[in-house]
Amino acid sequence: MGTHAGNHPGKIALVTGANKGIGLETARQLGRLGIAVVVAARDQAKAEQAVSALQDAGIDAVPLKLDVTSTADIQAAAALLESRYGRLDILINNAGINAENTWTGNNSQTVTQAQLRKTFDTNFFGVVELTQALLPLLKKSPAGRIVNLSSILGSLTLQADPGSPVAGSKALAYNASKTALNAFTIHLADALKDTSIKVNSAHPGWVKTDMGGAGASMEVADGAKTSVELALFGEDGPNGTYSHLGNVLPW
């Protein structure tokens, strides 16, 4: 706990939306591998609760109040990481919302401006702002990794194909926010291609979480695997890709 900046021997990871679901499981899987995990959540008490459970399992975890739509929270997070560790090795942009509360049908004629703006604030604008704020710390890592939690629903190729498995899921705000996030992955990966940082989009799968619902086909432990994989590969690993459990998805 009294670590001096820059002297932490192992890797440091920040996971947003890490108080439950895929985010918490991602923090757990990274922590089991000896990585120090900063557990970020909008609610300080929920972050502390998650950290307590992780620490009980012997994981090096610290809580962080971080609403990705709050510039003040983002700046405070960057300052905390700077003073505590002096760098960041892994950023998992996991926090995301579905303001439409549906996955089925086509709501492009009825989706509201409020739903669109709320969704993009968390799923896109917040991710870009946080990532930009943390890039100076990621550049201090010998092998920085950024994982953007996208969704197969953001694939324009699959959405445009009436025969694809996701063709019936056209919640515009959510899907478009993930398409935009994929564009950020491509653009940022290109901007950083001559550095040791790699940026990739992950589709976790349809997972049994509060968002995915009980009818989902995958367990939470498997839903975290893609993020963990993309956070840990070596210098010959992918950059600017979109995948699920090792399988490349079409943009």
pLDDT digits (tens, 9 = 90+) for 145-164: 999 999 999 999 999 999 99
Distance CA 114, CA 111 (A): 8
Which residues belong to the active site?
174, 178
Any idea which fold 12-248 has? Rossmann fold (3.40.50)
Distance CA 188, CA 182 (A): 10
Distance CA 129, CA 24 (A): 22
Q: Which band of pLDDT confidence, cut at 50, 70 and 90, is reported for residue 22? A: very high
H-helix or E-strand containing 240? Answer: none
Mean pLDDT in residue range 39-56: 97
Q: Are 13 and 38 in contact (CB under 8 A)?
A: yes
H-helix or E-strand containing 62? Answer: strand 61-65
Looking at residue 219, what is its pLDDT? 79
Tokens in use for 159? 């959405």
Tokens in use for 228? 């963990």
Q: Smallest Cα–Cα separation from 92: which of 240, 230, 247?
A: 230
List C-alpha distances in Å: 121 to 89, 129, 158, 199. 25, 10, 24, 20
Q: Which band of pLDDT confidence, cut at 50, 70 and 90, is reported for residue 4? A: very low
Q: Smallest Cα–Cα separation from 22: which of 178, 222, 213, 177?
A: 222
Q: What is the CA radius of gyration of the chain?
A: 17
